[in-house]
Amino acid sequence: MKKTLSLITLLSASLVVTVPLTTLAQKLNKPNIIYIYADDLGFGDLSSYGAKQIETPHLDKLAQAGTRFTNAHSTSSTCTPSRFALMTGTYPWRQEGTGILPGDAKLIVPTDKITLPKVFKNAGYTTAIVGKWHLGLGSEIKKDWNAAIKPGPNDVGFDYSFIFPATADRVPTVFLENEQVVAVEEKDPILVDYEKKVGNDPTGKEHPELLKMQSSPGQGHDQTIINGIGRIGYMTGGTRARWVDEELSTTFLHKAQDFITQHQDKPFFLYFCLTEPHVPRMPATQFRGKSKLGYRGDAILQLDWTVGQIQQQLQLLGMEKNTIIIFSSDNGPVLDDGYVDGAVAQLNGHLPAGPLRGGKYSIFEGGTRVPFIVSGKGVAKGKVSNALISQMDLLATCAQLLGVKLKTDEAKDSKALLKTLTGEDLKGRSTLVQHAQTLAIVKDDWKYIAPSKGTPYMKLTDTETGNHPEDQLYDLKNDIGEKNNVATEYPEKVTELKQLLIEEQKN
Ligand code: NG6
Ligand code: CA
Protein backbone atom coordinates (compact mmCIF):
# COMPACT_ATOMS: atom_id res chain seq x y z
CA MET A 1 0.00 0.00 0.00
CA LYS A 2 1.25 3.49 -0.84
CA LYS A 3 2.13 5.64 2.17
CA THR A 4 0.27 8.93 2.25
CA LEU A 5 2.06 10.58 5.17
CA SER A 6 4.20 13.48 4.06
CA LEU A 7 7.84 13.81 4.98
CA ILE A 8 7.03 16.94 6.99
CA THR A 9 4.41 15.08 9.03
CA LEU A 10 6.84 12.29 9.63
CA LEU A 11 9.58 14.68 10.59
CA SER A 12 7.44 16.45 13.15
CA ALA A 13 6.19 13.10 14.42
CA SER A 14 9.79 11.97 14.70
CA LEU A 15 10.56 14.97 16.90
CA VAL A 16 7.91 13.85 19.39
CA VAL A 17 8.65 10.15 19.48
CA THR A 18 12.28 10.44 18.32
CA VAL A 19 12.01 7.86 15.54
CA PRO A 20 15.53 7.18 14.25
CA LEU A 21 16.23 8.32 10.69
CA THR A 22 16.57 4.77 9.38
CA THR A 23 13.02 4.08 10.41
CA LEU A 24 12.02 7.37 8.85
CA ALA A 25 13.56 6.34 5.54
CA GLN A 26 11.74 3.02 5.71
CA LYS A 27 8.48 4.78 6.44
CA LEU A 28 9.09 7.05 3.50
CA ASN A 29 9.26 3.98 1.38
CA LYS A 30 12.59 5.18 -0.02
CA PRO A 31 11.69 7.91 -2.52
CA ASN A 32 13.37 7.83 -5.90
CA ILE A 33 15.54 10.87 -6.41
CA ILE A 34 16.11 12.42 -9.82
CA TYR A 35 18.66 15.22 -9.84
CA ILE A 36 18.37 17.17 -13.08
CA TYR A 37 21.40 19.37 -13.72
CA ALA A 38 21.31 22.05 -16.39
CA ASP A 39 24.54 23.43 -17.84
CA ASP A 40 25.06 27.23 -17.65
CA LEU A 41 21.41 28.06 -16.89
CA GLY A 42 21.12 31.42 -15.12
CA PHE A 43 19.09 32.61 -12.15
CA GLY A 44 16.86 34.66 -14.48
CA ASP A 45 16.42 32.12 -17.28
CA LEU A 46 13.11 30.56 -16.16
CA SER A 47 9.73 32.25 -16.10
CA SER A 48 9.23 31.02 -12.53
CA TYR A 49 12.36 33.01 -11.67
CA GLY A 50 11.06 36.17 -13.32
CA ALA A 51 12.04 35.76 -16.98
CA LYS A 52 9.63 37.78 -19.15
CA GLN A 53 10.90 36.95 -22.63
CA ILE A 54 10.83 33.20 -22.26
CA GLU A 55 8.21 30.73 -21.02
CA THR A 56 9.29 27.55 -19.23
CA PRO A 57 5.93 25.96 -18.31
CA HIS A 58 7.22 22.56 -17.23
CA LEU A 59 9.79 23.88 -14.79
CA ASP A 60 7.26 26.43 -13.57
CA LYS A 61 4.85 23.58 -12.87
CA LEU A 62 7.59 21.76 -10.99
CA ALA A 63 8.17 24.89 -8.89
CA GLN A 64 4.46 25.30 -8.17
CA ALA A 65 4.21 21.69 -7.05
CA GLY A 66 7.26 22.03 -4.80
CA THR A 67 9.67 24.50 -3.25
CA ARG A 68 11.55 27.07 -5.31
CA PHE A 69 14.81 28.32 -3.81
CA THR A 70 16.07 31.85 -4.35
CA ASN A 71 19.41 31.59 -2.53
CA ALA A 72 20.74 28.21 -3.65
CA HIS A 73 24.23 27.87 -5.09
CA SER A 74 26.61 25.79 -7.08
CA THR A 75 29.99 25.89 -5.34
CA SER A 76 31.68 27.51 -8.31
CA SER A 77 31.00 29.62 -11.36
CA THR A 78 32.17 26.91 -13.78
CA CYS A 79 31.27 23.32 -14.42
CA THR A 80 33.98 20.90 -13.29
CA PRO A 81 34.47 22.34 -9.80
CA SER A 82 30.70 22.55 -9.18
CA ARG A 83 30.23 18.94 -10.28
CA PHE A 84 33.21 17.81 -8.23
CA ALA A 85 31.64 19.34 -5.10
CA LEU A 86 28.25 17.81 -5.86
CA MET A 87 29.85 14.36 -6.14
CA THR A 88 32.23 14.61 -3.17
CA GLY A 89 30.60 16.99 -0.68
CA THR A 90 33.85 18.92 -0.45
CA TYR A 91 34.81 22.35 -1.71
CA PRO A 92 36.63 21.95 -5.03
CA TRP A 93 39.29 24.51 -4.17
CA ARG A 94 40.60 22.10 -1.50
CA GLN A 95 41.87 19.78 -4.24
CA GLU A 96 44.30 20.70 -7.02
CA GLY A 97 43.27 20.15 -10.62
CA THR A 98 39.51 20.66 -10.27
CA GLY A 99 39.27 23.49 -12.82
CA ILE A 100 37.53 23.16 -16.22
CA LEU A 101 38.85 19.89 -17.66
CA PRO A 102 39.80 19.07 -21.25
CA GLY A 103 38.04 16.12 -22.89
CA ASP A 104 40.97 13.75 -22.38
CA ALA A 105 41.50 14.48 -18.66
CA LYS A 106 41.85 11.68 -16.15
CA LEU A 107 39.28 11.06 -13.42
CA ILE A 108 39.54 13.61 -10.59
CA VAL A 109 36.92 12.13 -8.23
CA PRO A 110 38.64 9.89 -5.66
CA THR A 111 37.48 6.26 -6.00
CA ASP A 112 38.11 5.42 -2.33
CA LYS A 113 35.97 8.14 -0.75
CA ILE A 114 32.28 8.66 -0.21
CA THR A 115 30.33 10.17 -3.12
CA LEU A 116 26.73 11.21 -3.63
CA PRO A 117 25.82 8.04 -5.57
CA LYS A 118 27.60 5.86 -2.99
CA VAL A 119 25.31 7.29 -0.30
CA PHE A 120 22.38 5.94 -2.30
CA LYS A 121 24.08 2.62 -2.92
CA ASN A 122 24.69 2.26 0.82
CA ALA A 123 20.95 2.62 1.30
CA GLY A 124 20.21 -0.10 -1.26
CA TYR A 125 19.40 2.15 -4.21
CA THR A 126 20.27 1.56 -7.85
CA THR A 127 22.19 4.54 -9.21
CA ALA A 128 22.68 5.98 -12.68
CA ILE A 129 24.18 8.95 -14.45
CA VAL A 130 22.90 10.02 -17.84
CA GLY A 131 24.39 13.08 -19.55
CA LYS A 132 27.38 15.36 -19.20
CA TRP A 133 30.15 14.09 -16.91
CA HIS A 134 33.15 16.48 -17.12
CA LEU A 135 35.08 14.95 -14.21
CA GLY A 136 37.65 13.05 -16.26
CA LEU A 137 38.00 9.40 -17.28
CA GLY A 138 40.70 6.79 -16.76
CA SER A 139 43.93 7.11 -14.86
CA GLU A 140 45.96 8.79 -17.61
CA ILE A 141 45.49 11.55 -20.15
CA LYS A 142 46.70 9.20 -22.88
CA LYS A 143 44.05 6.55 -23.23
CA ASP A 144 42.66 4.05 -25.64
CA TRP A 145 39.20 5.30 -26.57
CA ASN A 146 38.49 2.00 -28.29
CA ALA A 147 38.72 -0.17 -25.16
CA ALA A 148 36.98 0.05 -21.77
CA ILE A 149 38.03 3.25 -19.96
CA LYS A 150 38.43 2.94 -16.20
CA PRO A 151 38.09 4.39 -13.65
CA GLY A 152 35.04 6.51 -14.41
CA PRO A 153 31.47 7.06 -13.17
CA ASN A 154 31.00 3.31 -12.57
CA ASP A 155 33.93 3.36 -10.14
CA VAL A 156 32.66 6.24 -8.01
CA GLY A 157 29.18 4.91 -7.27
CA PHE A 158 27.10 4.66 -10.44
CA ASP A 159 25.67 1.25 -11.35
CA TYR A 160 24.86 2.50 -14.82
CA SER A 161 26.37 5.32 -16.87
CA PHE A 162 25.57 6.85 -20.23
CA ILE A 163 27.66 9.96 -20.59
CA PHE A 164 29.67 12.21 -22.78
CA PRO A 165 33.13 12.84 -21.35
CA ALA A 166 33.45 16.61 -20.98
CA THR A 167 31.44 19.37 -22.65
CA ALA A 168 29.51 19.51 -25.91
CA ASP A 169 32.19 21.80 -27.39
CA ARG A 170 35.11 19.46 -26.58
CA VAL A 171 36.27 16.31 -28.34
CA PRO A 172 35.72 13.41 -28.28
CA THR A 173 32.12 13.99 -29.32
CA VAL A 174 31.01 10.49 -28.40
CA PHE A 175 28.89 8.73 -25.80
CA LEU A 176 30.21 6.17 -23.36
CA GLU A 177 27.94 3.54 -21.92
CA ASN A 178 29.42 1.83 -18.90
CA GLU A 179 33.07 2.60 -19.77
CA GLN A 180 32.83 1.83 -23.47
CA VAL A 181 32.45 4.30 -26.34
CA VAL A 182 29.14 3.58 -28.06
CA ALA A 183 29.38 2.41 -31.70
CA VAL A 184 33.16 2.60 -32.03
CA GLU A 185 34.50 0.25 -34.71
CA GLU A 186 37.82 -1.51 -34.80
CA LYS A 187 38.44 -0.40 -38.37
CA ASP A 188 37.95 3.27 -37.50
CA PRO A 189 39.65 3.83 -34.12
CA ILE A 190 39.28 7.09 -32.23
CA LEU A 191 42.29 9.27 -31.53
CA VAL A 192 42.10 12.37 -29.37
CA ASP A 193 44.71 15.04 -28.79
CA TYR A 194 44.59 18.43 -27.11
CA GLU A 195 48.10 19.48 -28.13
CA LYS A 196 48.38 18.76 -31.82
CA LYS A 197 46.26 17.80 -34.79
CA VAL A 198 45.65 14.09 -35.31
CA GLY A 199 44.37 12.58 -38.56
CA ASN A 200 43.01 14.47 -41.53
CA ASP A 201 39.71 15.80 -40.28
CA PRO A 202 39.36 19.46 -41.24
CA THR A 203 39.61 22.10 -38.53
CA GLY A 204 37.53 25.24 -38.17
CA LYS A 205 40.66 27.32 -38.46
CA GLU A 206 41.65 25.84 -41.83
CA HIS A 207 38.14 25.48 -43.23
CA PRO A 208 35.71 28.03 -41.83
CA GLU A 209 33.62 27.56 -45.00
CA LEU A 210 32.64 24.08 -43.72
CA LEU A 211 31.06 25.40 -40.55
CA LYS A 212 27.32 25.62 -40.07
CA MET A 213 27.86 27.84 -37.02
CA GLN A 214 30.80 30.23 -36.82
CA SER A 215 33.11 30.27 -33.83
CA SER A 216 33.38 33.62 -32.05
CA PRO A 217 36.59 35.47 -32.99
CA GLY A 218 39.29 35.03 -30.37
CA GLN A 219 37.48 32.25 -28.49
CA GLY A 220 39.05 29.13 -30.03
CA HIS A 221 36.51 26.43 -30.88
CA ASP A 222 38.30 26.24 -34.23
CA GLN A 223 39.90 22.82 -34.01
CA THR A 224 38.36 19.58 -35.36
CA ILE A 225 35.04 20.15 -37.14
CA ILE A 226 32.37 17.67 -36.13
CA ASN A 227 28.83 17.90 -37.44
CA GLY A 228 29.69 21.28 -39.00
CA ILE A 229 30.83 22.74 -35.67
CA GLY A 230 34.40 23.62 -34.71
CA ARG A 231 35.41 22.08 -31.36
CA ILE A 232 38.05 22.46 -28.68
CA GLY A 233 40.61 19.68 -29.22
CA TYR A 234 41.55 17.39 -32.09
CA MET A 235 39.93 14.10 -32.93
CA THR A 236 39.94 11.60 -35.72
CA GLY A 237 38.18 8.27 -36.32
CA GLY A 238 35.02 7.02 -34.67
CA THR A 239 32.97 8.33 -37.60
CA ARG A 240 29.90 6.30 -36.65
CA ALA A 241 30.34 6.94 -32.95
CA ARG A 242 30.12 10.72 -33.21
CA TRP A 243 27.02 12.33 -31.87
CA VAL A 244 24.66 14.61 -33.78
CA ASP A 245 24.22 17.77 -31.70
CA GLU A 246 20.59 18.17 -32.73
CA GLU A 247 19.89 14.74 -31.19
CA LEU A 248 22.00 15.01 -28.04
CA SER A 249 19.14 16.00 -25.85
CA THR A 250 16.70 13.30 -26.96
CA THR A 251 19.43 10.67 -26.80
CA PHE A 252 19.98 11.49 -23.13
CA LEU A 253 16.24 11.76 -22.50
CA HIS A 254 15.55 8.30 -23.90
CA LYS A 255 18.36 6.76 -21.88
CA ALA A 256 17.05 8.43 -18.72
CA GLN A 257 13.52 7.26 -19.49
CA ASP A 258 14.69 3.70 -20.15
CA PHE A 259 16.43 3.68 -16.79
CA ILE A 260 13.32 4.98 -15.02
CA THR A 261 11.06 2.41 -16.68
CA GLN A 262 13.42 -0.44 -15.88
CA HIS A 263 13.76 0.59 -12.24
CA GLN A 264 10.25 1.72 -11.45
CA ASP A 265 9.79 -0.98 -8.80
CA LYS A 266 13.06 -0.40 -6.92
CA PRO A 267 14.37 2.79 -5.31
CA PHE A 268 16.80 4.62 -7.57
CA PHE A 269 18.93 7.72 -7.82
CA LEU A 270 19.23 9.21 -11.29
CA TYR A 271 21.75 11.98 -11.95
CA PHE A 272 20.46 13.44 -15.21
CA CYS A 273 22.87 16.01 -16.63
CA LEU A 274 21.48 18.02 -19.50
CA THR A 275 23.75 19.90 -21.85
CA GLU A 276 21.51 22.93 -22.36
CA PRO A 277 22.07 25.82 -22.66
CA HIS A 278 25.85 25.26 -22.87
CA VAL A 279 27.55 25.88 -26.22
CA PRO A 280 27.38 24.76 -28.95
CA ARG A 281 23.66 25.42 -28.87
CA MET A 282 22.21 23.37 -31.69
CA PRO A 283 18.65 22.54 -30.66
CA ALA A 284 16.42 20.02 -32.44
CA THR A 285 14.33 21.30 -35.36
CA GLN A 286 11.27 21.28 -33.11
CA PHE A 287 12.73 24.11 -31.03
CA ARG A 288 14.76 26.08 -33.55
CA GLY A 289 13.51 29.66 -33.82
CA LYS A 290 10.77 29.01 -31.28
CA SER A 291 11.97 31.28 -28.47
CA LYS A 292 12.80 34.28 -30.71
CA LEU A 293 15.90 34.68 -28.51
CA GLY A 294 18.28 32.76 -30.76
CA TYR A 295 19.56 29.24 -30.16
CA ARG A 296 20.25 29.89 -26.48
CA GLY A 297 16.58 30.60 -25.84
CA ASP A 298 15.58 27.64 -28.02
CA ALA A 299 17.92 25.40 -26.01
CA ILE A 300 16.19 26.54 -22.80
CA LEU A 301 12.81 25.58 -24.31
CA GLN A 302 14.27 22.19 -25.22
CA LEU A 303 15.52 21.77 -21.65
CA ASP A 304 12.11 22.70 -20.25
CA TRP A 305 10.39 20.27 -22.60
CA THR A 306 12.79 17.51 -21.52
CA VAL A 307 11.89 18.06 -17.87
CA GLY A 308 8.23 17.92 -18.91
CA GLN A 309 8.81 14.56 -20.59
CA ILE A 310 10.25 13.15 -17.37
CA GLN A 311 7.32 14.54 -15.35
CA GLN A 312 4.87 12.99 -17.79
CA GLN A 313 6.60 9.62 -17.64
CA LEU A 314 6.54 9.59 -13.84
CA GLN A 315 2.85 10.40 -13.93
CA LEU A 316 2.06 7.68 -16.48
CA LEU A 317 3.96 5.12 -14.41
CA GLY A 318 2.26 6.33 -11.22
CA MET A 319 5.63 7.20 -9.72
CA GLU A 320 5.32 10.91 -9.07
CA LYS A 321 4.19 10.43 -5.46
CA ASN A 322 7.24 8.36 -4.60
CA THR A 323 9.81 10.45 -6.45
CA ILE A 324 11.59 13.68 -5.64
CA ILE A 325 12.89 15.80 -8.51
CA ILE A 326 15.64 18.27 -7.77
CA PHE A 327 16.48 20.69 -10.56
CA SER A 328 19.46 23.05 -10.69
CA SER A 329 22.33 24.41 -12.81
CA ASP A 330 26.09 23.99 -12.49
CA ASN A 331 26.96 27.67 -12.83
CA GLY A 332 25.55 30.98 -13.96
CA PRO A 333 24.76 32.16 -17.48
CA VAL A 334 26.91 33.38 -20.38
CA LEU A 335 25.76 34.56 -23.78
CA ASP A 336 28.76 34.41 -26.11
CA ASP A 337 30.80 31.41 -24.90
CA GLY A 338 32.47 30.61 -28.21
CA TYR A 339 29.98 30.61 -31.09
CA VAL A 340 27.98 33.17 -33.02
CA ASP A 341 24.55 31.71 -32.30
CA GLY A 342 22.25 34.68 -31.83
CA ALA A 343 22.44 34.68 -28.01
CA VAL A 344 23.74 38.26 -28.00
CA ALA A 345 22.09 39.59 -31.15
CA GLN A 346 18.62 38.27 -30.26
CA LEU A 347 18.71 38.81 -26.52
CA ASN A 348 15.62 40.99 -26.75
CA GLY A 349 16.00 42.43 -23.24
CA HIS A 350 16.14 39.03 -21.54
CA LEU A 351 18.18 39.02 -18.30
CA PRO A 352 19.80 35.57 -17.96
CA ALA A 353 21.04 36.31 -14.42
CA GLY A 354 17.88 38.22 -13.43
CA PRO A 355 18.71 40.93 -10.90
CA LEU A 356 22.17 39.48 -10.16
CA ARG A 357 25.53 40.87 -11.23
CA GLY A 358 27.98 38.76 -13.24
CA GLY A 359 27.42 35.24 -14.54
CA LYS A 360 29.50 32.24 -15.51
CA TYR A 361 33.19 32.79 -14.54
CA SER A 362 32.18 35.44 -11.99
CA ILE A 363 32.51 35.65 -8.19
CA PHE A 364 29.45 37.90 -8.11
CA GLU A 365 26.12 36.23 -7.30
CA GLY A 366 25.36 35.63 -10.98
CA GLY A 367 28.18 33.08 -11.00
CA THR A 368 26.79 30.63 -8.47
CA ARG A 369 23.26 31.61 -7.42
CA VAL A 370 21.19 29.43 -9.72
CA PRO A 371 17.67 28.06 -10.06
CA PHE A 372 17.04 25.27 -7.55
CA ILE A 373 13.67 23.58 -7.45
CA VAL A 374 12.73 20.62 -5.26
CA SER A 375 9.46 18.86 -5.79
CA GLY A 376 7.81 15.59 -4.89
CA LYS A 377 7.28 13.30 -1.97
CA GLY A 378 7.38 15.16 1.34
CA VAL A 379 8.39 18.53 -0.12
CA ALA A 380 6.38 21.66 0.73
CA LYS A 381 4.15 22.70 -2.15
CA GLY A 382 4.01 26.16 -3.70
CA LYS A 383 6.68 27.49 -1.39
CA VAL A 384 9.49 29.95 -2.05
CA SER A 385 12.54 29.52 0.17
CA ASN A 386 15.29 32.06 0.62
CA ALA A 387 17.35 29.59 2.67
CA LEU A 388 21.07 29.52 1.92
CA ILE A 389 21.86 26.08 0.52
CA SER A 390 24.59 24.60 -1.67
CA GLN A 391 24.38 21.73 -4.14
CA MET A 392 27.32 20.31 -2.20
CA ASP A 393 24.88 19.78 0.72
CA LEU A 394 22.95 17.12 -1.16
CA LEU A 395 25.41 14.43 -0.13
CA ALA A 396 24.95 14.86 3.63
CA THR A 397 21.26 15.72 3.20
CA CYS A 398 20.51 12.55 1.26
CA ALA A 399 22.51 10.57 3.83
CA GLN A 400 20.28 12.13 6.49
CA LEU A 401 17.15 11.25 4.54
CA LEU A 402 18.24 7.65 4.07
CA GLY A 403 19.77 7.08 7.50
CA VAL A 404 23.24 6.54 6.03
CA LYS A 405 25.92 7.38 8.58
CA LEU A 406 28.86 9.51 7.47
CA LYS A 407 32.14 9.57 9.36
CA THR A 408 33.22 12.98 10.62
CA ASP A 409 35.97 13.30 8.03
CA GLU A 410 33.71 12.31 5.12
CA ALA A 411 32.23 14.93 2.82
CA LYS A 412 33.13 17.46 5.45
CA ASP A 413 31.85 20.56 3.66
CA SER A 414 28.42 19.03 3.02
CA LYS A 415 25.69 20.01 5.51
CA ALA A 416 22.73 17.79 6.41
CA LEU A 417 19.81 20.11 5.65
CA LEU A 418 16.85 17.83 5.12
CA LYS A 419 14.33 20.23 6.58
CA THR A 420 15.71 22.99 4.39
CA LEU A 421 15.55 20.83 1.28
CA THR A 422 11.91 19.94 1.95
CA GLY A 423 10.99 23.60 2.38
CA GLU A 424 10.26 23.40 6.10
CA ASP A 425 13.26 25.28 7.47
CA LEU A 426 13.86 28.62 5.78
CA LYS A 427 17.31 29.45 7.12
CA GLY A 428 19.67 26.80 5.81
CA ARG A 429 23.42 27.25 6.09
CA SER A 430 24.95 29.95 8.23
CA THR A 431 27.92 30.49 5.89
CA LEU A 432 28.93 29.54 2.37
CA VAL A 433 32.18 29.98 0.46
CA GLN A 434 31.78 30.92 -3.19
CA HIS A 435 34.42 30.13 -5.79
CA ALA A 436 35.55 31.64 -9.09
CA GLN A 437 39.06 32.97 -9.74
CA THR A 438 38.95 34.19 -6.16
CA LEU A 439 36.92 33.16 -3.10
CA ALA A 440 34.07 34.91 -1.33
CA ILE A 441 32.19 34.11 1.85
CA VAL A 442 28.56 34.81 2.69
CA LYS A 443 27.14 35.08 6.21
CA ASP A 444 23.79 36.58 7.21
CA ASP A 445 23.42 38.26 3.83
CA TRP A 446 26.83 39.92 4.06
CA LYS A 447 29.24 38.93 1.34
CA TYR A 448 32.98 39.42 1.44
CA ILE A 449 35.03 38.94 -1.74
CA ALA A 450 38.76 38.37 -1.27
CA PRO A 451 41.07 40.65 -3.30
CA SER A 452 42.20 39.36 -6.66
CA LYS A 453 44.59 40.61 -9.30
CA GLY A 454 42.63 38.89 -12.09
CA THR A 455 40.94 40.89 -14.81
CA PRO A 456 37.75 42.65 -13.67
CA TYR A 457 36.14 42.24 -17.08
CA MET A 458 36.34 39.47 -19.67
CA LYS A 459 35.59 41.25 -22.91
CA LEU A 460 34.98 38.23 -25.13
CA THR A 461 32.30 36.71 -22.91
CA ASP A 462 31.18 40.12 -21.58
CA THR A 463 31.65 38.98 -17.99
CA GLU A 464 32.10 41.14 -14.92
CA THR A 465 34.28 38.74 -12.99
CA GLY A 466 34.13 40.53 -9.64
CA ASN A 467 37.93 40.49 -9.41
CA HIS A 468 39.21 43.56 -7.61
CA PRO A 469 42.59 44.26 -5.97
CA GLU A 470 40.97 45.34 -2.70
CA ASP A 471 38.45 43.93 -0.23
CA GLN A 472 34.82 43.99 -1.34
CA LEU A 473 31.83 43.81 0.97
CA TYR A 474 28.23 43.70 -0.17
CA ASP A 475 25.00 43.87 1.77
CA LEU A 476 23.00 41.31 -0.20
CA LYS A 477 19.79 42.00 1.71
CA ASN A 478 19.60 45.54 0.37
CA ASP A 479 21.88 45.23 -2.63
CA ILE A 480 21.38 41.88 -4.35
CA GLY A 481 22.93 43.36 -7.51
CA GLU A 482 26.24 43.98 -5.66
CA LYS A 483 26.43 47.57 -6.85
CA ASN A 484 27.83 49.20 -3.71
CA ASN A 485 31.06 48.02 -2.18
CA VAL A 486 30.66 48.98 1.49
CA ALA A 487 33.99 47.59 2.73
CA THR A 488 35.23 50.96 3.98
CA GLU A 489 31.96 51.66 5.81
CA TYR A 490 31.99 48.36 7.72
CA PRO A 491 35.63 47.53 8.53
CA GLU A 492 34.67 45.15 11.41
CA LYS A 493 32.45 43.12 9.06
CA VAL A 494 35.34 42.87 6.62
CA THR A 495 37.67 41.69 9.39
CA GLU A 496 35.12 39.16 10.66
CA LEU A 497 34.36 37.63 7.27
CA LYS A 498 37.97 37.69 6.13
CA GLN A 499 38.88 35.72 9.26
CA LEU A 500 36.01 33.27 8.67
CA LEU A 501 37.23 32.67 5.14
CA ILE A 502 40.76 32.00 6.41
CA GLU A 503 39.35 29.51 8.95
CA GLU A 504 37.35 27.73 6.22
CA GLN A 505 40.47 27.37 4.11
CA LYS A 506 42.29 25.75 7.04
CA ASN A 507 39.61 23.08 7.55
C1 NG6 B 1 35.93 27.68 -21.54
C2 NG6 B 1 35.47 27.71 -22.99
C3 NG6 B 1 33.96 27.74 -23.01
C4 NG6 B 1 33.39 26.59 -22.22
C5 NG6 B 1 33.97 26.57 -20.82
C6 NG6 B 1 33.55 25.38 -20.01
C7 NG6 B 1 37.11 28.88 -24.42
C8 NG6 B 1 37.56 30.21 -24.96
N9 NG6 B 1 36.02 28.91 -23.65
O10 NG6 B 1 37.31 27.60 -21.47
O11 NG6 B 1 33.50 27.71 -24.33
O12 NG6 B 1 33.67 25.38 -22.87
O13 NG6 B 1 35.37 26.56 -20.89
O14 NG6 B 1 32.25 25.49 -19.61
O15 NG6 B 1 37.70 27.85 -24.69
S16 NG6 B 1 31.76 24.69 -18.37
O17 NG6 B 1 30.36 25.02 -18.21
O18 NG6 B 1 31.95 23.28 -18.70
O19 NG6 B 1 32.55 25.12 -17.23
CA1 CA C 1 28.49 24.73 -16.95
* Ligand 1 midpoint to CA 102 (Å): 9
Ligand 1 atom showing the smallest separation from residue 279 Cα: 11
- Residue 278 CB less than 6 A away from ligand 1: yes
- Residue 232 CB less than 6 A away from ligand 1: yes
Q: Cβ contacts of residue 183 below 8 Å, gap of 6+?
A: 174, 238, 240, 241
Which one of the ligands is nearest to 231 CA? 1
Ligand 1 atom showing the smallest separation from residue 337 Cα: 11
* Ligand 1 midpoint to CA 337 (Å): 7
Alpha carbon distance, N-terminus to C-terminus of the chain = 46
- Residue 336 CB less than 6 A away from ligand 1: no
Ligand 1 atom showing the smallest separation from residue 78 Cα: 19
Neighbours of 201 (CB within 10 A): 19
- The complex's ipTM works out to 0.99
User: Which among 340, 104, 133 is positioned nearest to 232, based on CA atoms?
Assistant: 104
Question: Using CA positions, which residue lies closest to atom 16 of ligand 1?
Answer: 79
DSSP collapsed to 3 states, 34-86: EEEEECCCCCCCCHHHCCCCCCCHHHHHHHHCCEEECCEECCECCHHHHHHHH
* Ligand 2 midpoint to CA 40 (Å): 4
User: Which among 35, 52, 69, 38 is positioned nearest to 386, based on CA atoms?
Assistant: 69
Q: What is the pLDDT of residue 200?
A: 97
Which one of the ligands is nearest to 99 CA? 1
- Residue 276 CB less than 6 A away from ligand 1: no
Ligand 1 atom showing the smallest separation from residue 39 Cα: 17
Amino acid at the residue 491: P
Q: Cβ contacts of residue 139 below 8 Å, gap of 6+?
A: 106, 107, 150, 151
Q: Cβ contacts of residue 346 below 8 Å, gap of 6+?
A: 292, 293, 294, 297
**Average pLDDT, 10 consecutive residues per value, the chain (507 residues):** 40 42 53 98 99 98 98 98 99 98 98 98 98 98 98 98 98 98 97 98 98 98 98 98 98 98 96 98 98 98 98 97 97 98 98 98 99 97 98 98 96 98 97 98 98 98 98 98 98 98 95
Q: What is the pLDDT of residue 28?
A: 55
* Ligand 1 midpoint to CA 195 (Å): 17
- Residue 77 CB less than 6 A away from ligand 1: no
Which one of the ligands is nearest to 166 CA? 1
Q: Which helix (H) or strand (E) holds 128?
A: strand 126-132
- Residue 337 CB less than 6 A away from ligand 1: yes
Is cis: bond before 491, omega within 30 of 0? no
Question: Using CA positions, which residue lies closest to atom 8 of ligand 1?
Answer: 219
- Residue 219 CB less than 6 A away from ligand 1: yes
